Structure 1
Amino acid sequence: MILDTLFTLLYFSLPAAALLLMRAAGMPLSRLSLPSFVILACFAFAYVGLLPLYFGWDEYRAMSGVNDRELLFLVFLGSTWTIFSLVLGAFLGRTLLGALRPPRPGFPLTQGEQFRIVLLLAGVALVLAEYLTRVPRIALLVALTGSITEAEEMRSLMGNDFGWGYHWYSLGMHDIANLLTFTTFSAWLLRKSAANFALFLCAFGLSAFAAVMAIEKGPLVWILIGLLLAWLLVRKGGTITMRSILPFMMLALVVMALIYMAFEGSASLTDALMAVFSRAFAGSVEPAYHYLQFFPAHHDFLYGRSFPNPAGLFPWEPYRLTEEVMDWVYPNDAGIVRSAPTIFWAELYANFGAPAVVIVPPFVGFALYLLALYVSRLPDSPVKTGYLVWLLLHFKNLATSSFSSFIIDIYFVGVTLVLLLALPPRTRSSRCAADEQKS
């Protein structure tokens, strides 16, 4: 009873304290920035779902074994400290390095930028075509013409069990395609020409198909959210209001519910909406609970073994943490490779215990602010807007994926190289040329 009361009081009071600290740091949640968006994602995907899990309101997860309140209280402490330490790290960055420049629309795309975007779109299409030749069947088509179970097997073969260097294909057909989608949409918002609209349609078509072809439920919704973020940056200066985002939130909710009805066998719209809420707000909390169950009671701490080992340079075999935990929780899902990703502090705990959870997150907050400061000082353009939107959606995954994913981050490096080499930041002369073209 005492623990329940303490949990309830802390659960509702700590977010208010974190929001006040963010406002004092000049990064309120109502203004888009890289640190504030990651913190918002941590609230959404690693905090909100704790309340229904703790009190057993999410019946499916309670019946599956997520019902130890003491363990859930420890998950709450881990997520709470992580959120506060991200704020503290960003606050330190602002104090030492100065404030972020507010986002501005900038100038439309130049003809040279449009040409390079066409070449990049052609490259993305080739990568996607090559990838499709290496999968036995497309899960989306199987789901539309066959059984859901068979479609899930195809989804596994198209992702976790693909092999063939899947991350390189994903970089092209997901990340670079999304970067181009957000860039061309920003350009069309700035200048509604037929050429910009055609570029946007091509980019969106490629990224949307890549998002749904493996019947994954989230990627298409995140593309839609990315378009909303681009619109907010271009038209609203990065300011978020409920009036401006409510229609997009309703659209995303409907899209997710329809996907659950089509591909997950939800019997009604109500069931689909309940599944969406459970997956969105508790789906990334539950694995953290299992990490605390598994380490060290059933497995010793990993001491870095889940971290990348490029070219086998280090004396360990990489431990497939998310897959191993999922296999321990659901040992009967033979033939389907599943994973249990969760907020990044859980992997720190699995490797080094509680001290790592306390020490590392403030440095993550500082690093996010440093990157945000660099991007804010790039010349304003649709390319910068598209890159910033991609960064927001990429690093929000800190709330739902392993810390090791960001140690050797080929997606960040790859997209940044595309920005610097194929779509380089503008010089003063190119900005003037774009301004003359607009006039």
Structure 2
Amino acid sequence: MAGGRTGRHAVEAVWRIESARIVGTLARVTRDFALAEDLAQEALAEALVTWPREGVPRNPAGWLLTVGRRRAIDAYRRRAARDERYAALARDLGEGGVAAGDTGSAPVTAAEDADLLWDPDRVDDDVLALMFIACHPTLSREASVALTLRVVGGLGSDEIARAFLVPTATVQARITRAKKTLAAARVPFAVPSAEDRRERLGSVLSVLYLVFTEGSSATSGSEWIRQDLAREAIRLARILARLVPDEPETHGLLALFELTAARFPARVREDGEPVLLEQQDRRRWDRTAIRRGRAALARATRVGRGLGAYGIQAAIAECHAVAPSVEETNWERIVLLYEALGRLAPSPIVELNRAVAISMSQGPAAALPIVENPVVVGRLAGSHLLPSVRGELLTRLGRTDEARREFALAVRLCGNERERDLLERKLAALG
């Protein structure tokens, strides 16, 4: 029994680490993304049966790739045999057709068979191509997220479903539709050309940002932080930063993730209750993650001609990371950074955060007009964030009745159980 558990755990660990390279290698040599993902899943299923029974092989990733290679060869042979039967039938019917042995796609030769073996020199390009395909512009954002976590992150459909609180069948349907869409669009398995890469890279970065954001501040469910989801986004961002080292925003995004995740140990109590920034024990912040984040931010500065949207957000996170306390935080710099971010990537959330920073540097009265701006109010209708911030500002201004109404609205709109409990406590504190 113990050996069976060991074998299964080994399969899960190897798959999480190596799945992207395996799928990428199979996709490159088969030139069929959907087929490659299916072959890799078949290899995974075989490992789940074989490894617990016969032990973990010396080269686990090579074993999985070899099984996928054999399944690919079998598929080619079945296709060749089928096409030969079709050709024979066409000749019998006097309709010409495909000549015997002409498979429509070349049969697997010895050289091609050798190419299916693990090729470490091309692995990086394979994984990079896989990321760009999973985040292809033809796919919906939901499909890109599911496909990225499945084929690049190595997560199963059940894991993705639990992370985003949707049925497993929904995740599976999204992945299936995504693969069909890519096949219909005849998306090639290749890293985009240099001129297309910058535009396409934005899709990859935004998908990773979405995954991390949902992990670091869950919009629904009973957990305030979904660490597994956030950690997966960090892992993928590290891969991307290595694969595309000359793009400043890859380092900016990684810096943002590292600096934000550094506060995770202090953001939640042992019972799962949220801890707000002003109440966090900063001694519990992960100093190693802060050093990694600051190093990534420095790389983003060196590589680019100024920080992009992710880099600016990382710079804001750095201000928090290096401050000894909330009171000693450089709020004036944070306000300037949010103003720069608002010009580069305007959004109502940026305005909301700018309002919070202004309230800390200049007082709540200076921030209130921002959260009462009709544009901000209109675009954040239905979100609990706006009444939450407005409730805080009104509380600090002594306008208790108005603050109570705002917090009551925030409670009704909030989808996360832990955050809703926090808002209810704030409402109760107002009497």
Flag the structure with larger Rg.
2
TM-score, structure 2 as length reference: 0.28
Higher RCO structure, 1 or 2 (CA under 8 Å, sep 6+): 1
